[in-house]
Structure 1
Amino acid sequence: MTFNLPPQMPLPFHAASLYAAQALAASTGPWPGVKEYRDQTFGAQSWESFDVFAPEDAGEGLDVLIFLHGGGWTNGYKEWSGFMAPGVTAQSCLFVTPNYRLAPAHRYPVFIADAVTAIVEIRARIAQYGGNPDRVFLSGHSAGGHLASQIALRPDLCEKYGLEKDALKGCLPISAILDLRSDNAPAGSLEARVYEMVLQDPSQDWEASPLAWLENLHMPMDFTWGAQDSERVRESNEAARAFLEGQHNEGQHNTVHFHTEDTNHFGTHLSLVDSCHRWYRGLETMRKETA
């Protein structure tokens, strides 16, 4: 199929544009054994839509994985992630990719609210596709990993936007940006874009960082990032590992896993075109541990 996507601002560098092209090309489908329900709407606004991918022989009461696309909060489409459908549905699990509004037109925390709203609406409707609304897992790549992590660690925000604390069974962020703070970010840098385009106010940089809320962890999490990932991603995920492993040593036993892949920021996502990738085993393990 050919995607007819609304225009967005140019991506900031060539590697991002190449990633977007590769992700779209890999997400066109169809795939053997996968049923597609594209562009399902739950409201009148253009962003209020999601795609559902189900195993062809789907019964009822299946686990659900909701995946939030990346794009630095300023770019991205749900269509960037469809290529994961074969790997997820092979586990007799539904795969759902929603949209959310983007910066700079919509700044933090609007896209958090949008993502939570999408999750609420998906849970309300997922049974018609064979899914179990009480067995929902959350993931995302890059900025989408940031949103997923923030949602997992901010039950107060979730409840504010209508999602109860225990609605999600686990979270699996990929190359998530966990710390938005940056001192003296050079003009035009990706770090500067956070202050120039993403946050409503620079003072929100720590509040908007999942790293600030790790003490709220109340569900299993599986963090993945690349050995050649961006410095900000590597350092913030390592900081999360140090904090959460310290908590575990102190007797707090939330199930948390950490994985470093031998690839870069975009490879951590694009490598999931391989349905046998390690990441899918991590999803399967989390589902079994929470059953």
Structure 2
Amino acid sequence: MGWIGWTATIVLVLVVALLGAWRYAHATGAVGLLEWADRTIGTTQGTAVAASGVAFGDDPAQRLDIIAPNTPGPHPVIVFFHGGGWHSGRPEDYRFVGRTFARAGYVVVLPGYRLGPEGIYPRMLEDGAAALAWTNAEIARFGGDPRQVILMGHSAGAHTATMLGLERQWLGQQGLPDGFVKAVVGLAGPYDFHPFTSDSARNAFGHVRDPAATQPITFVRGDAPPMLLLTGDADTTVKPRNSRVLAKALTDAGARAELVILPQVDHAGPVLKLARPFARDTRVRDAALGFLDTLPEASVPVQAEMR
């Protein structure tokens, strides 16, 4: 076997090992392994950590990171809420998501929020809304445009993103107007999941007297921000039904909703495909950017794109 053959074999082994590490990391909450893999095999070129550990509240969990393009702004802003079953996850472990979209011309805000016993409903929503209020007030200093704010999240984070996009009270409590959120992208999110069948859902929402108040589907409205709901047909953690029923309810109400169901993609897949070297499968990235490109208030000007 020649040098090229050995190199290809080593790369293949490394990719397989990283894939296995990611599966383990996602199962155990140690997503930092994926962030390490993205930095090691990928590149940070064209992006920068514009801020790290910035406080948007008094609780230690209320901290955020910002990943920005290395080009002059103002850029539209994606606020990405991480998953982890409302009990685990750190914003700094999802910087690979920030780099992926910063390369496309977006400033990406990665908020943390209270988790576990301290993070029961409605605190994840209160913290998310507080992060948006901070974004509105401060993101211009980091090259972002507060008039172009998009919400995105994976799994539990997709629940937060859609709830903040649909239920007016949370942004209203922070003094943010209707229309502040220009679009929502939900990745493998739970949107209609009562009765609660998992420990994580029971721990986060089981104390609520009216479970319907915790469900995004309850707050469907015709003037909701446009939504892209993306999931995999092999997701056994959050069933694809969640995305199907929310997309149908939104469109039936007169709102814009696009449903993308990826064949042979499991619950971790939508995030996995936003990190290198797994980003060779561009379906998640392309779906998100393609959707945002159709929204003038949420898209990157063509001349500013770095795709």
TM interval, shorter chain, is 0.7 to 0.9
Gaps of 5+ in 2: 1-23, 298-307
Higher helix proportion: 2
Gaps of 5+ in 1: 1-12, 186-190
Query: Which residue number corresponds to residue 10 of structure 1?
Result: none
Query: Shift in Å at residue 225 of structure 1?
Result: 0.7
Q: Structure 1 residues 44, 214: CA separation in 2 closer, same or farther (over 3 Å shift)?
A: closer
> Quick one: which of 278, 282, 297 aligns to 1:277?
282
Query: Which residue number corresponds to residue 295 of structure 2?
Result: 289
Query: Shift in Å at residue 34 of structure 1?
Result: 0.9
Query: Which residue number corresponds to residue 48 of structure 1?
Result: 62
Query: Shift in Å at residue 49 of structure 1?
Result: 1.5
Query: Which residue number corresponds to residue 169 of structure 2?
Result: 156
Instruction: Give the aligned residue type for 1:87.
Output: T
Query: Shift in Å at residue 255 of structure 1?
Result: 2.6
Counting matched residue pairs gives 266
Query: Which residue number corresponds to residue 222 of structure 1?
Result: 228
Query: Which residue number corresponds to residue 16 of structure 1?
Result: 27
**Contact 1:67/1:140 (8 A) holds in 2:** yes
Mapped to 2, the partners of 1:275 and 1:118 lie a distance apart of: 32
Secondary structure, aligned partner of 2:224? coil
Query: Which residue number corresponds to residue 241 of structure 1?
Result: 247
| Deviation per residue, 1:4-48 (Å, 9 max, x gap) | xxxxxxxxx985227625434246576111111222233443122
Q: Structure 1 residues 27, 121: CA separation in 2 closer, same or farther (over 3 Å shift)?
A: farther
Secondary structure, aligned partner of 2:60? coil
Instruction: Give the aligned residue type for 2:182.
Output: K
Query: Shift in Å at residue 108 of structure 1?
Result: 0.3
Instruction: Give the aligned residue type for 1:136.
Output: V
Query: Shift in Å at residue 277 of structure 1?
Result: 1.9
Q: How does 1:1-291 map to 2 (within 5 A)?
A: 16-17=27-28, 20-26=31-37, 31-36=44-49, 37-56=51-70, 58-182=71-195, 185=197, 191-195=198-202, 197-199=203-205, 201-215=207-221, 217-230=223-236, 232-247=238-253, 252=254, 254-262=255-263, 263-273=265-275, 274=279, 277-285=282-290, 286-291=292-297
Query: Shift in Å at residue 228 of structure 1?
Result: 0.8
**More deviation in 120-129 or 14-23?**
14-23
> What is the TM-score with the length of structure 1 in the denominator?
0.83
Mapped to 2, the partners of 1:45 and 1:65 lie a distance apart of: 23
Provide the alpha-carbon RMSD of the alignment: 2.4
Mapped to 1, the partners of 2:29 and 2:199 lie a distance apart of: 22
Query: Which residue number corresponds to residue 5 of structure 2?
Result: none
| Deviation per residue, 1:74-114 (Å, 9 max, x gap) | 11111232112332112211111011111322310011000
Mapped to 1, the partners of 2:123 and 2:29 lie a distance apart of: 28
**More deviation in 96-105 or 280-289?**
280-289
Mapped to 1, the partners of 2:139 and 2:94 lie a distance apart of: 19
Instruction: Give the aligned residue type for 2:200.
Output: R
Q: Structure 1 residues 14, 34: CA separation in 2 closer, same or farther (over 3 Å shift)?
A: closer
Query: Shift in Å at residue 200 of structure 1?
Result: 5.9
Q: Structure 1 residues 231, 194: CA separation in 2 closer, same or farther (over 3 Å shift)?
A: closer
Mapped to 2, the partners of 1:235 and 1:229 lie a distance apart of: 10
